[in-house]
Amino acid sequence: MKIDRLLGILMILINRKKVTAKELSDYFEVSVRTIQRDMDNLNMAGVPIYADVGKNGGYQLIDNYKLDKNFLDVNEAKVLIAFLQNLQQTVPYSEVKSMFNKFLMLHPKELKDNKIVVKLNPLINEKILKDNLDKIAKARDKCLKVQIKYIDMNFQETDRTIFPYTLVMMGATWYIYAYCDLREDFRMFKLSRIISCEILSEEFSVKEMPKILPWDNDLDSRRESTKIILEIDKILQGKLPDYFDYKDCRVENNKIIVDLCFPVDEWLYSLLAGLVPYVKIIKPDWLREEFTRRLKLCIEKNNL
């Protein structure tokens, strides 16, 4: 959007002594001519920009030009800068970078107090994931189809052509919500399962998205849940808030009783395995029997 780009250019000019039209065109992924028109528009809006020509030329603001910093409170910026700093490295999206530059305008030294540190996703430093994010974001912005190689639930490689619509982070996991040419419907694709992707030259026609989107509701809201009662040794009481709502826990006879209502799936079995040997399944009986069977199988496999 033009207004976002103009604001972004202004923030860069304030942060840097001089910048070239080529640097700005590469940053915002537009032509040099577009940047020149943007500079004209900023000048007409009263922003005092002048250009130096020659080998060391570039655009810069006149000396002593300042932006009113009352538009954002420094203490508010301290809370948000940690999110934006990680996000602008994570999501290759020009608006995020523009916001990040805006926050840096408010006394940068005061913002770097390390009172809050955010790592949205430890995996985000992996090159493949970042490259895929970059390609998908660019294809989404330009309405270009993307060819991906995807690992499905059966651990099989499948080739898909997708029309990317929305990047979604749920928990610590990145997804792309896209129209799948193979399934002829919208799907959520986990980025960690995309092992390669290529932007195609073919544009796609934007389709109307479903009225109910995957991130609008609890992912478990439409799945059948089971009433579960666990008995956990008090040695784990300090860790239980990491797993369960404290309102679902009560102390009885020096044990902690946890009442849950969860879908029974591999995630639940993984959770229970992480509580071994301090957990006992009280109800239902069939869940206890299946969990015990899995434990015995594990012992057999590891019995030397």
Please check whether residue 89 is in contact with residue 99, taking contact to mean a CB–CB distance below 8 angstroms.
no
**Residue 236: predicted pLDDT:** 85
Please tell me whether the peptide bond between 241 and the residue prior to it is cis, using omega within 30 degrees of 0. Answer: no
Count how many Cα atoms sit within 13 Å of the Cα of residue 109 in the half-sphere of its side chain. Answer: 0
Q: Which of 35-39, 118-122, 254-258 has the least mean pLDDT?
A: 118-122
**Residue 128: predicted pLDDT:** 78
Q: Which of 65-74, 121-130, 139-148 has the least mean pLDDT?
A: 65-74
Q: Which of 103-117, 140-154, 215-229, 233-247 has the least mean pLDDT?
A: 103-117
Please check whether residue 133 is in contact with residue 92, taking contact to mean a CB–CB distance below 8 angstroms.
yes
**Residue 69: predicted pLDDT:** 45
Mean per-residue pLDDT of the chain: 78
Q: Does the structure show a pLDDT above 70 at 88?
A: no
pLDDT band at 71 (very low <50, low <70, confident <90, very high): very low
**Residue 259: predicted pLDDT:** 92
Stronger pLDDT, 202 or 6, i.e. the higher one: 202
- Beta strand 249-252 with 255-262 is antiparallel
pTM of the model: 0.50
Q: Does the structure show a pLDDT above 70 at 125?
A: no
**Residue 1: predicted pLDDT:** 45
Greatest CA separation found in the chain?
82
25, 98, 186, 280, 282 from 285: Cα distances, Å: 65, 56, 39, 11, 7
- Look at the alpha carbons of 237, 241, 243, 249 in this order and tell me if their dihedral is positive or negative: positive
Over range 236-244, report the average pLDDT: 79
Q: Does the structure show a pLDDT above 60 at 105?
A: no
The tens digit of pLDDT for each residue in 42-55 reads 877 777 887 877 66
Over range 116-129, report the average pLDDT: 58
Over range 222-243, report the average pLDDT: 83
**Residue 257: predicted pLDDT:** 92
Which residues are CB-contacts of 60 (< 8 A; sequence separation ≥ 6)?
Answer: 13, 17, 18, 19, 49, 50, 51, 52
Q: Does the structure show a pLDDT above 50 at 109?
A: yes
**Residue 297: predicted pLDDT:** 92
